[in-house]
Amino acid sequence: MDELQSLWQGFAVALTAQNVLLMFLGITLGVLIGVLPGLGGANGIAILLPLTFTMSPTSAIIMLSCIYWGALFGGAITSILFNIPGEPWSVATTFDGHPMAQQGRAGEALTAAFTGSFVGALVAVVMITFLAPLVAEFALKFGPPEYFAVYLLAFCSFVGMGKGSPWKTIAAMMLGFAMAAVGMDTVTGQLRLTFGSTELMRGFDFLVAVIGLFGIGEILLTMEEGLEFKGRSARINARVVLETWAQLPKFWATSLRACLIGCWMGVTPGGATPASFMSYGVAKNISKNGHNFGKGEMEGVVAPETAAHAAGTSALLPMLALGIPGSPTAAVLLGGLLIWGLQPGPLLFVEQKEFVWGLIASMYLGNIVGLIVVLTTVPLFAAILRVPFSIIAPIIIVVCAIGAFTVHNAMLDVWLMMLFGVAGYVFKKLDYPMAPMVLALVLGDRAEDSFRQAMLMSQGSLSILWSNWLVGSITAGALLLLFWPLITALRARRAGGA
């Protein structure tokens, strides 16, 4: 096979001593960036881009993509340990990862998260290796109506998960949508909900909200319950990795679904964040342990992490094959290509064979290196939980403040973070669900944009959402997922009646 031979040559390119060293360096830097909330992904790569200007293009992209893997891995760490999602795509990881840490199972949660990430990335890389042109062709079929259908699907797969008052769920979700609308409207260029303030023009950033709601809110709750983290007696020895691995194979079905969801969302530019939410929602609906999700179920860590990595990795495919960025991070990498004198696009695979296959080979190697690096740090990170609360709490708040600031270099965001912290504390105590709110915040404006773009295309007719088999089947799937709880309830009743 052609691909295998090219890949083999790619390994030869990637496996020089210097490049392997760069991989380790990149992964370590990436983990560091991923751990610091607010810095990861696009921001982090953009900041570290200048480091690579003097390298050869192949070495540079190897280092940068390793930073990317590192950031993907690193996002899970703070989510599990402190309930602070280091990256948007690790919000769903907090739902079960943090309860696990509180039960003293931080090591297991970290191992499960890292291994899940690795599997997701590996599957996506295999897809890139063998199916790149085919998949790229498919990605082009996505216009505004299809985008909207994908967002709708992500949303519907997650709705109906809330317990508690449906009115509170609606209120929280709508608040998320309202916050997403603040700032400039893409379609008309009007300023919405800014009330004449320049500070509000940049809108509410998802990361600032989650750092506050989850991170600061959690510290306030911990404080209320007395001065310590509940999971202090974290078991930390290297055996935890092997023991966790022994449990993982039974989640094969969830992993497979997560990989599929992730690859799909990465190629259609839904991205890693919706992928992780969707995977979590689907796993909760389908898995037989679903009712336990949210209480520290390992499957609830594997599902979002695997999907996030599969999506994050396959988002690089459209960039390589078509020269279109599948994510903001890919957009920055794309800028990097230009700086090194390469032209991204459909001809990259033909004209820069060595570079492309070197990069693909480095995706395999980078993820293996990444897994080794992060797994060796599991005991180290789990040990952080042993640091007394009165030392770690102020440091967490400092890190959160820095993170909130770096998202947009804005002081207002730090204040907002504190406000969201108080809101997170109150919401948690009054059972306002936060997950639908953050999902609405992250998807709201994108969904609205694509809906209105679609409406412009169809001149106001909703029928465009059923205008071809692709958009039609995604829309139908979304509606099916939306009414899934109702359907299962009906079926249960019929079975009960019979």
Partner 1 sequence: MSQGGGRSAAAVTTGTMEIVVALLFFGVGALVAWDSWRLGASWGMDGPEAGYFPMRIGLLICVSAAVVLAQGYRHRHAGRETFVERGQLRDVLSILVPAVVYVLGIQLIGIYVASAIYVAMFMALLGGYRWLRSIAVGAAVGLSAFVLFEFWFGIPLPKGFVERALGF
Partner 2 sequence: MNAFARVRLQHARRRLTLSACAATLLSALVAAPSPALAQGWEPTRTVEFIVPAGTGGGADQMARFIQGVIQKNNLMKQPLVVVNKGGGAGAEGFLDIKNSKGDPHKIVITLSNLFTTPLATGVPFDWTDLTPVSMMALDQFVLWVNAKSPYKTAKEYIEAVRAAGGKMRMGGTGSRQEDQIITVSITRATGARFTYIPFKGGGEVATQLVGGHVDSTVNNPIEAVAQWRAGALRPLCVFDDERMPYKARVTDTMAWSDIPTCREAGVPTDYVMLRGIFMAGGVTPAQRDFYVNLMRRIRETPEWRRFMEEGAFNTTALSGEPFVEWLKRAKEEHRALMKEAGFLK
Binding site for partner 1 (CB under 8 A): 39, 47-48, 50, 165, 167-168, 170-171, 174-175, 177-178, 181, 185, 187-188, 190, 192-193, 195, 216, 219-220, 223-227, 388-391, 393-395, 397-398, 401-402, 405-406, 409, 411, 414-415, 418, 421-422, 425-426, 429-430, 432, 448, 451-452, 454-456, 459-460
Q: Which is nearer to partner 2, 249 or 341 (CB)?
A: 341
Task: Identify residue 219 by its one-letter amino acid code.
Answer: I
Alpha-carbon distance of 403 to 209, in angstroms, equals 11
Of 4, 21, 53, 239, the one binding partner 2 by CB under 8 A: 53
Q: In this structure, how many other beta carbons lie within 10 angstroms of the beta carbon of residue 497? A: 6
Does position 194 interact with partner 2 (CB under 8 A)? The reply is yes
Q: How far is the CB of 348 from partner 2 (least distance, A)?
A: 8
- Footprint on residues 424-453 left by partner 2 (CB under 8 A): 449, 453
Of 29, 127, 324, 363, the one binding partner 2 by CB under 8 A: 324
Q: How many residues does the chain have?
A: 498
Q: How far is the CB of 354 from partner 2 (least distance, A)?
A: 19
Q: How far is the CB of 88 from partner 2 (least distance, A)?
A: 15
Does position 237 interact with partner 2 (CB under 8 A)? The reply is no
Q: Which does 414 bind (CB under 5 to 8 A by kind): partner 1, partner 2, none?
A: partner 1
Give Cα 288 to chain centroid, integer Å: 24
Q: Which does 193 bind (CB under 5 to 8 A by kind): partner 1, partner 2, none?
A: partner 1
Of 134, 256, 286, 339, the one binding partner 2 by CB under 8 A: 339
Q: Which is nearer to partner 1, 388 or 485 (CB)?
A: 388
Q: How far is the CB of 411 from partner 1 (least distance, A)?
A: 6
Does position 331 interact with partner 2 (CB under 8 A)? The reply is yes
Q: Which does 220 bind (CB under 5 to 8 A by kind): partner 1, partner 2, none?
A: partner 1
Does position 184 interact with partner 2 (CB under 8 A)? The reply is yes
Measure the N-to-C terminal CA separation of the chain; round to a whole number of Å.
56
Total of chain residues touching partner 2, rule CB under 8 A: 52
Does position 178 interact with partner 2 (CB under 8 A)? The reply is no
Q: Which is nearer to partner 2, 258 or 455 (CB)?
A: 455
Q: Which does 165 bind (CB under 5 to 8 A by kind): partner 1, partner 2, none?
A: partner 1
Question: Which of 148, 146, 156, 154 minimizes the C-alpha distance to 468?
Answer: 146
Does position 141 interact with partner 2 (CB under 8 A)? The reply is yes
Asked whether the beta carbons of 106 and 81 are under 8 A apart, the reply is yes
Give Cα 485 to chain centroid, integer Å: 25
Q: How far is the CB of 227 from partner 1 (least distance, A)?
A: 6
Spatial CB neighbours of 240, under 8 Å, sequence gap ≥ 6: 107, 108, 111, 378, 379, 382
List, in sequence order, every residue forming a beta bridge with 334; answer none if it has no partner: none
Q: Which is nearer to partner 2, 25 or 49 (CB)?
A: 49
Q: Which does 168 bind (CB under 5 to 8 A by kind): partner 1, partner 2, none?
A: partner 1
The binding site for partner 2 (CB under 8 A) comprises 42-43, 46, 49-50, 53-54, 140-144, 183-191, 194, 198, 201-203, 318, 322-325, 328, 331-332, 334-335, 338-339, 341, 343-348, 408-409, 449, 453, 456-457, 459
